[in-house]
Amino acid sequence: MNNNKVIQVEGLTKMFGDFTAVNAITFEVEKGEIFGFLGANGAGKTTAMKMLIGISKPTSGEANVAGFDVFTHAEDIKKNIGYMSQKFALYDDLTVKENITFFGGIYGLSRKIIKEKSDVLIAELGLEKVANQLVGSLPLGWKQKLSFSVSLLHDPKIVFLDEPTGGVDPITRRQFWEMIYKASNQGTTVFVTTHYMDEAEYCDRVSIMVNGKIEALDTPKKLKKQFNAATMNDVFLKLARG
Amino acid sequence: MLPIIFVLPILQLVILSNAATFEVKNIKFGYIDNDHTSTSRALVEKFNASTYFDVLTDFPSEAFASSEMLKGKVDVVLEIPHYFERDLQKEKYNNLGVTINAIDGAAAGVENVYVNQIVQNFNQHLKVDLLQVSDKQIQPIYIETIPLFWYNETLNYKTFMVPGILVLLVTMITLFLSGMNIVREKEIGTLEQINVTPIKKSQFIIGKLFPFWVVGMALLTIGLILAKLIFDVPMLGSLVLLYAYTSIYILVILGMGLFISNFTDTQQQAMFIAWFFVVIFILMSGLFTPIESMPKWAQIVTEFNPIKYFVEVIRMVMLKGSGFMDILPLGLKTLAYAIVMNGLAVWSYKKTN
């Protein structure tokens, strides 16, 4: 196995009864890459991602994430990945610090390391004043940034982001992508789904899913050339409309 | 939330323990006196003297009495026939008509017993009087039973009910809290976040159980203190034994709650199922109705009712002073139940769908 390939997917399929949500997708993601996973609502992005992070069993196909097989070693994958869901999923009724401590603890970090990391993290996000406030009282943009930082707490090899910037303002989105770049520069692979086509341009490589299949996969530049489009938006529209 | 968890059960304990009584008191009693003699008045006076009967009025006619019973104004009507006194003296024998509202059959039975006791008591005095007049040589023979009421000498209903109601409260609160819990996390999405972490299933379930276990034990403590202070319920057995048993018992309920939570998608579903079981468990627990009088199949069903075990144990320990060996069989069954329920809870919690 090539060590540079942190995600290898071959013919991965998920069926719900007769409905094929993900239809034999095949792709690879390299270490340190920012991989954009695009598709219309219902195209199967989230289902595909759930198989990769080990919370949904694939119907068939093969997938290897962070060096572990999704069928047999889902729990080992979980130790090596971070995940931020579409829905804000930190505990609203815990404070910022408590959330960090809790998730750090689950990943088996020592108290000392959690303390150090949470101080750094709170300082970076500028959350000093609200560190002891309930997370539920924070604005959405802050929550999302916190959520992303928490998913990076245990230095995962890969971080999966499911529409991380949904519903946040442009400035926060900008800051969010700066955080993504920073993580990527430090060697973390970023697997991100989004509906914002300008964000797609920030990715190293992009795949576009239509009706459960990956219809296009390349760098944004090459995709635009291939589909003879000025922006990723046009590429997406051409593909999604078939 | 925390004040609600503790204040409501305490209120329930105080209210229910006072209200949930099977003692039949304040019986609405009416009579139709067709005789109007000193004997008939003496009989009515006997009822008046009893604390169980509220003697209402002398009904002018049977028709009026039955219309009052229809309206629910009277529950027991005694009809004293014409020439009651005269016939008694002549025939040394007479009949009294008693009409009892028997919609609540159990209460009607008790009322009947009370009426009979009063009439018999009246009868004995009368016999002595009559005998003295007619034949002094024949001595009346009495056989009397002298009951000894063990474990609750004064037949205090609260002594019997308070421990049982305490069981209900501990059970209901812990079942609902645990039943709502995982499913709530499913609803708000945090469960998914937990599922992508390497946390072990057993760790997760233990983490979920522990806080509610503490809540359950705290409720028991508060309940026991109130039972002593307000209701003066005795604590004959070992407190340590009761706590040891309760600590296992709560695990059964929590395991059950988490199992429900794992199988449902919304809090409504979980609540509905939790209620389904709670109602069956309560009504078939032996708390309100003795299990021995249930049909055979129902008695078998109660074997799976954790509340039944706890009600038995708490009454045994508190009221009878039963020791470790006495409750051991119940304790072992409860332990087995706890292992099965928590095994199911861990098993049914699936990190991967």
A226: exposed, middle or buried (C-beta count within 10 Å: 0-12, 13-18, 19+)?
Answer: exposed
- pLDDT at B183 > cutoff 80: yes
Diameter of chain B measured on Cα atoms: 97
**pLDDT given at position A148:** 92
**Do the Cβ atoms of B189 and A85 come within 8 Å?**
yes
Q: Which residues of B touch A88 (CB under 8 A)?
A: 189
- Report the residue of B192, B349, B353 to disrupt the A interface, i.e. the one with the largest count of A CBs within 10 Å: B192
pLDDT at B313: 94
Interface contacts A/B by beta carbons within 8 Å: 51
Across the interface, whether the CB atoms of B196 and A81 are under 8 A apart is answered: yes
User: What are the tens digits of pLDDT across the range A18-51?
Assistant: 999 999 999 999 999 999 999 888 888 889 999 9
Q: What is the pLDDT of residues A163-187, one digit of tens each?
A: 888 888 889 899 999 999 999 999 9
Cβ <8 Å between B198 and A78:
yes
d(CA B344, CA B291): 28
Q: Which domains does chain B have, with CATH numbers?
A: 25-134 (3.40.1710.10), 152-348 (no CATH)
* CA distance to partner chain A, nearest, from residue B206 (Å): 13
Q: What is the mean pLDDT of residues B246-269?
A: 93
Q: Cβ contacts (< 8 Å) between B190 and chain A: which residues?
A: 89-91
Note whether A74 contacts B351, CB cutoff 8 Å: yes
Interchain contact, B198 vs A53, CB within 8 Å = no
The predicted-structure confidence for A111-166, as pLDDT tens digits, reads as follows: 999 999 999 999 988 888 999 999 999 998 889 899 999 999 999 999 999 988 88
Closest to A106 (Cβ–Cβ): which among B188, B189, B199?
B199
Interface of B with A (CB under 8 A): 188-190, 192-199, 351-353
Answer whether residue B20 shows pLDDT above 50: yes
Chain B residue numbers with beta carbons less than 8 Å from the beta carbon of A161 are none
Q: Which of B80, B65, B75 is nearest to B27 (CA)?
A: B75
Comparing C-alpha atoms, which of A135, A110, A109, A131 is closest to residue A120? A131
Give the angle A77-A80-A85 at the CA atoms, nearest 5°. Answer: 85
> How far does the CA of residue A125 sit from the closest CA of chain B (Å)?
21
CA distances from B240 to A33, A57, B247, B271, B309 (A): 61, 48, 10, 33, 17
Is B210:B342 a contact under the CB 8 Å cutoff? no
| Percent of the residues in chain B that have a pLDDT greater than 70, as a whole number | 94
pLDDT > 90: percent of chain B: 38
Q: Is the Cβ pair A55, B352 closer than 8 Å?
A: yes
Tell which of B193, B204, B350 to mutate to test the A interface (max A CBs under 10 Å).
B193
What is the mean pLDDT of the segment spanning B245-263? 94
For B52-86, what is each residue's pLDDT tens digit? 888 887 888 888 888 888 888 888 998 888 888 88
pLDDT recorded at residue A190: 95
Average pLDDT, chain B: 87
pLDDT at res. A1 = 46
pLDDT of residue B59: 84
Sheet holding A5-16, edge to edge: A19-30, A5-16, A60-65, A68-69
Task: Using an 8 Å CB-CB cutoff, list chain B residues near A163.
Answer: none
Chain A residues within 8 angstroms (CB to CB) of chain B: 53-57, 74-76, 78-79, 81, 83, 85, 87-92, 103, 106-108, 160
Q: Is the model's pLDDT at B136 over the cut of 70? A: no
Strand, coil or helix: A186: coil
CA–CA distances in Å: residue A43 to residues A22, A40, A78, A196: 8, 5, 25, 15
pLDDT of residue B134: 54
Using alpha carbons, select from B266, B268, B267, B258 the residue that is nearest to residue B208.
Answer: B258
CB contact under 8 A, A92 and B352: no
Average pLDDT of A193-221?
A: 90
Minimal CA separation from A59 to chain B, in Å = 11
Question: Which of A57, A103, A107 shows the shortest C-beta gap to B353?
Answer: A57
Cross-chain residue pair B193–A85, CB shorter than 8 Å: yes
Contacts of B199 in chain A (CB under 8 A): 106
- The pLDDT, as a whole number, for residue A3 is 65
Residue B140 has pLDDT above 80, yes or no: no
Contacts of A57 in chain B (CB under 8 A): 352-353
What chain A residue is nearest to B190 in terms of C-alpha separation? Answer: A89
Q: Report whether pLDDT(B131) > 70.
A: no
CA B20 to chain centre: 6
Percentage of chain A with pLDDT > 70? 98
Q: For residue A58, count other CB atoms closer than 10 A to its CB.
A: 21
- The domains found in chain A, sorted by start residue, are 31-55+74-240 (3.40.50.300)
- Encode B247-261: b = buried (16+ Cβ within 10 Å), e = exposed: ebbbbbbbbbbbbbb
Predicted pLDDT at A2: 53
- Contact criterion met (CB < 8 Å) for A89 and B190: yes
| Residue A219 banded pLDDT, cuts 50, 70, 90 | very high
Tens digit of each residue's pLDDT (9 = 90 or more) over A47-103: 999 999 999 999 999 999 999 999 999 899 999 999 998 888 899 999 999 999 999
pLDDT at B139: 56
Q: What is the 3-state secondary structure (H, E, C) of B73-141?
A: CCCEEEEECCCHHHHHHHHCCCCCEEEECCCCHHHHHHHHHHHHHHHHHHHHHHHHHHHHHHCCCCCCC
- Cα distance between residue B36 and residue B25, in whole Å: 27
Chain A residues whose CB is inside 8 A of the B202 CB are none
Question: Which residue in B189, B199, B351 is closest to A89 by CB distance?
Answer: B189
**pLDDT score of B132 more than 60:** no
Closest A-chain CA to B353: A56
Q: Give me the residue from B192, B198, B351 closest to A85, CB to CB.
A: B192
Q: Is the pLDDT of residue B160 over 90?
A: no
Does B129 have pLDDT greater than 70? no
Mean pLDDT of B143-162: 76
What's the whole-number mean pLDDT along residues B155-172? 86
